[in-house]
Amino acid sequence: MKNRDRILSYATLLCFLLGAALGLIRPDWAEKLSFVGSAYVTVLKYMALPALIVSVFHAALAGGKHAAGILMRTLLTFIAMFTASFLLCAALYAAFSPGTGVSWIQETAWEGEKAAVSFRSMLKNIFSLTSVNSLYFPSALVAFAAGLLLSISGSERIERGTAALEKFCNRLLSYVMLLTPLGVFSLMAKCTGTLGAAALASSGAYIAWAYGGCLLVLLGVMILPLWLVCRVSPVLFFQKTARLFLTAISTCSSAATLPETMRTCREGFETSDRISGIVAPLGCTIHMCGGAVSFCLLGMYVMHMRGQTVSLGMLLWMLLVSLLLNMGAPGIPGGGIVLAATYLGMLGVEHGELFLGMYAGIYRLLDMAYTSLNVAGDVTANVLIDRGERGK
């Protein structure tokens, strides 16, 4: 991890603790500083939109140039693993309802009768184009379709220009993320100042549920299929991926871990260059099983907190939105924070800033697990597709 990223992580953790303490000791000061956190969330939302559009467009543009058969199998494998991860975690969280009984956000953010969230209302809101939240879903669809269509022309100039634009957008976002300590300080101060120590107690439980979901997906979606289909034992899997996990934990970035991912696939599991050259780069962009755990827990936790029942239609809609939003996640450490507020807004949570204060403060710990799961999923997809090609 770069020195700047390390310093930023430590500063965020320190500001998380200081903000929580300030809110408990001087809630009046916390209220006066709350505008800083609100401004931080707003800037993240608006800065993330162009980055999402360019990222999804570039992924579709680059992917469309590869062999159609391998590309299609790669995309289907990614979607299947993401869906399995999401549904497996949904079953876990539905069985235990981790957000039930956590009322500190519910009591403050929602007064009076709770708003009903249904598939029809969600579909209406997402295409209403009345706020920045409603722009993400249609923008991702249009960008993906445009990228696939333009990939037919095979213009390297377009691809180079898009790659440069994506790098520029992510660089701007990385500068905005430097303000994370200030935003976390303000949001946590307001959170604890308004709600008290109950907010802090919930953060530890949320981390535990996140790690539990990641462990379940690692065992059920990655290690078990490799063991049954490819005869790769769990012990061998961890031996081959030990260095990869260390890189993922230290960088919290699938893109930064890509060289190690490709080395692990080619040298550790002996996948062909032709397969890993397609699967691994696409995987660090659009294949994020850790994102499945993240979005599933975030959505179900908040809904259980509000006392809402997650219907089958709503669950499937959450899955679809998660899949598309996940494809456009910024390729920077902590990029999940950028989409968290948007995702809560798309689920009908209009006052998610209080929850986001806790979420941003602990995200570094969450991201360590999510990124590790992402790169483990990329390796799994590489090996499964490679063995399938060899079988043919």
Tell me the per-residue pLDDT of 245-257, one tens digit each, with 9 for 90 and over.
877 776 677 766 7
pLDDT recorded at residue 85: 96
Q: For residues 50 and 293, which has the higher predicted lDDT (pLDDT)?
A: 293
Length of the chain in residues, anyone? 392
CB atoms closer than 10 angstroms to residue 391: 7
Q: What is the pLDDT of residue 171?
A: 79
What is the per-residue pLDDT for 381?
Answer: 92
Residue 62 has pLDDT above 70, yes or no: no
Q: Report domain 3-391's class.
A: mainly alpha
- What integer is the mean pLDDT of 39-49? 72
pLDDT of residue 162: 81
In one letter, which amino acid is 87? Answer: L
The residue extents of the domains of the chain are: 3-391
**Are 293 and 89 in contact, with CB atoms under 8 Å apart?**
yes
Q: Give start and end residues of each alpha helix (H) in 218-352.
A: 224-230, 234-251, 258-263, 273-286, 289-305, 312-327, 335-346
pLDDT of residue 332: 47
**78 vs 72, residue with greater confidence:** 78
Q: Which residues contact 138 (CB under 8 A, 6 or more apart)?
A: 126, 127, 129
Residue 315 vs residue 135, higher pLDDT: 315
Expressed in angstroms, the distance from the first to the final Cα of the chain is 41
- Predicted confidence at residue 81, as pLDDT, reads 94
Continuous H helices in 97-197: 106-109, 119-126, 136-150, 156-176, 180-195
Residue 21's Cβ-count burial label (10 Å; 0-12, 13-18, 19+) is middle
Tell me: pLDDT of 298 over 80.
yes
Q: Identify the pLDDT of residue 338.
A: 64
Q: What are phi and psi of 12, to 5 degrees?
A: -65, -45
The whole-chain average pLDDT of the chain stands at 75
112-117 mean pLDDT: 33
Predicted pLDDT at 106: 41
Q: Which of 122-126, 229-233, 257-261 has the lowest mean pLDDT?
A: 122-126
Maximum mean pLDDT: which of 12-16, 212-216, 325-329: 212-216
Region class of 365: left (phi > 0), else alpha (psi between -120 and 50), else beta: alpha
Least confident of 64-68, 240-244, 278-282, 352-356: 64-68
DSSP string, 68-116: HHHHHHHHHHHHHHHHHHHHHHHHHHHHH-TTTT--TTHHHH--SSPPP
